Structure 1
Amino acid sequence: MAYVVQLRDVDSVLVSGASGTEGDLVEQIKGNCGYVVRGINWVLEQVNIHLLDALFDKLGGDFSTVSVMAEDWRRTGLAAGILADNYREMAAAVPTVWRGDTADAMTAKMEEFAENLDAAAECIEMVQMAIDDMLAATKSAMELVAMSLSLIDDLCMYFAGSLAKLAKEILTGGRRIKQIIELARDVIRTLEALADLIPALTKTASAVAVTLKGLDFVIVASNTKTNKDVGDKADDASSHLPTFPVGGR
C-alpha cells in the first residue's frame, strides 16, 4: 500500500493580523480621560508641562502597531511549525518509494529543514511572548495613567470653587499644585520610557530575523508563504526522477 503524504496548508494562518483590543484600549482611555486632560491642561501649561501632548503622542500610534506585530509573529511561528511538519512528513515518505544514497541525502536534507523550521518556530514564539509581555506592561501603565488622571481631577476639583485659591497655589507653588506637577512628571516619564521601549523591541525583532536567516529561514510572512507549495513542487520533481525498486539502488 502506497504511503499517503498528508501536508497542511499555511494559507489559513498567514494572514496579517488586525488591530486588537490593545489599540481600542488607548482610544477608550483617551475618551474617558479627555475631559480631565482638557480641564487640567491649562493649569499644567502654567508650569511648562504639556501633559496633553506627552500623554498620547508618545504612545498612541505605536501601541496598536505593536499589537498587530505580536499577532503577525504568532501567525508566522505557526506557519513555521506547519512547514516543519510538512518536511518531516515528506522525509518519512521517501523510503517507501525510493532507496539509495541520493534518497538518503534527500531525506536527511528534509529532516534538516524540519529541524531548522522547528528552531525558528521556537524562536518566533519567544519573541511573540516578549511582545505580549510588553503589551501587558503597557496596558498596566495606561491604567496607571488613568488612575493618575482621576487623582489629578480630584485635586483640580478642589480648586474649582475659588480662582483666587488656584492662582495663589500656582504663584506660590503650594502643596497641592506641587502634587499635580510631580504626578504629571511621573506620567510623562513613564510614557517616555515606553516610547523608548517600542523601537528597541523592533530592533530586537530584526536581530532575531538575522538569526533565523542563519537557519535558512527568513522571518517574513510573504516569504514563508512561498514555501507552502513545497508538496506540489516535490510531486512535480518526482516525475523527472529515475524510479528504483524499493529494495534496490
Structure 2
Amino acid sequence: MIRLYQFTHKAINLVKDNSNASSLDSTIPAEINLPNLTMFSTILFMTEFRQMGMGDSVDVSKTCNMSEWHRRLYEGAVETPQSDSDIYVDVLTLPPKPVSKAGIIYATTTRPADQDGAKEAFSAFLFAIHKSSVAKTIPSTNNGETHKLPSEAEALVAEKGTTHIWLCGSDPEQRRHRLMSQCLAQLEGDVLEWKANGQGSGVLTVHTIPKAFPGMVQFLTKNGFVGGDKVIGGESDKVLYWKVL
C-alpha cells in the first residue's frame, strides 16, 4: 500500500491512495503528522551520513528539527513565527496568502499489504519552499560552460521568485519504487497551477552535492532538470539544478 500526503501551512491532505482501501479507510491516521515526518527525516539523513563515512560528525539538527520545519513551512504564510507547541493541523485562522509563498511538503507512506493492522510508515518526502531569487553560480564543467536560465524565466523569477526543493529523501529499502517521482509530480502540478494563477514563476530549483548524493543528480536529470554549476558561497561542492515548467 502506498499513500501520498500533502502538508501545507493549513492542513494535511491525503492526495493519492494506491492502497485499494475501502472508503472507511480514507481518514488520515494520527501517525501521519509533522513531528513524525521530522523524526523520519532525521533518521534518514543520519543513516545517509553514516553510509558516507561522516558518522555523527554531521549536525542534522539545523535542518531536521521541528522549529526549523515549522519556520520554513509557515514562512510567507503567517506574520508571526510558530513554536513547537502550536497546533499544526487545520489552523483556520491563518491569513490567506499564496501557497507558493509558503512551504509545502509531499510525503509517501507504505504499509505491508500482508500485515493486518500494520501502521502506515513514512517512506519518502519532498519539502519545497519559496525563494525570492536563484542562487548565483560559477561554471563547474571543465570546458567553462555555464547553465543559465532563459531570459523569459529570469524575468519571471525576478518578479515571482522560485519554488526551491529544500530537502527530500526516501527510505533506502523503498527506493526504485518511484516514490520520489510521485512527490515531484504533485509538486510540479502545484507549481503549474501557481504559475497559471499569477502566484509563481513556474521555475523549480534544487541544490545538491554530486559527490555525496550521485543518485540525486541522476534523479534530477532524468526528470528534466539542468544545471550543475557551483553555488557561490554555498557548502563545498554544492551545485544548482533548475527546471522551467
Q: TM-score range by the shorter chain?
A: under 0.3
Q: Which has the larger radius of gyration?
A: 1
TM-score normalised to the size of structure 2? 0.24
More strand by share: 2
Relative contact order (alpha carbons < 8 A, sep ≥ 6): 1 or 2 greater? 1
TM-score, structure 1 normalization: 0.24
